[in-house]
Amino acid sequence: MTEGMWPESIWVSALIGAGIAGLYSLAALWLGKLAVKSSQRTFMMIVMGGMVARLFVTIIVLTLILLFTSLNSAALLVGFFIVFAIGLTAETIILHRHQSSVLKDSESNTSK
């Protein structure tokens, strides 16, 4: 059944891709919250290690979906990358704000 110009399968594929990216972004935000509560060294380990683990799992999931399902590949990837870019932007802003607050705290501690 079609709705508008594109078949439903394109929308379903795009939504599945967006859902995968949404889960990726939620994991990033959760790990960011966890990292903010830790020391600077642990912060970097959580952020960088979490990023590597998330990317690894996401690439495997996307590869398996593309290989073993009949979903529309282009729609799946477009849906994924739109939400991925939004989530990555949000993660960067949140981590940057954390860095700014840490720098302000350290400056105020050294000036006392």
Residue 57: pLDDT band with limits 50, 70, 90: very high
Q: Which range among 35-39, 66-70, 79-83, 87-91 has the greatest average pLDDT?
A: 79-83
Is 76:18 a contact under the CB 8 Å cutoff? no
Span 8-41, pLDDT tens digits: 789 999 999 999 999 999 999 899 888 888 887 8
Residue 57 structure tokens: 């799992």
Contacts of 21 (CB under 8 A, 6+ apart): 79, 80, 81, 82, 83, 84, 87
Provide the residue ranges of all domains of the chain, joining segments of one domain with +: 31-99
Percent of the chain with pLDDT over 90: 54
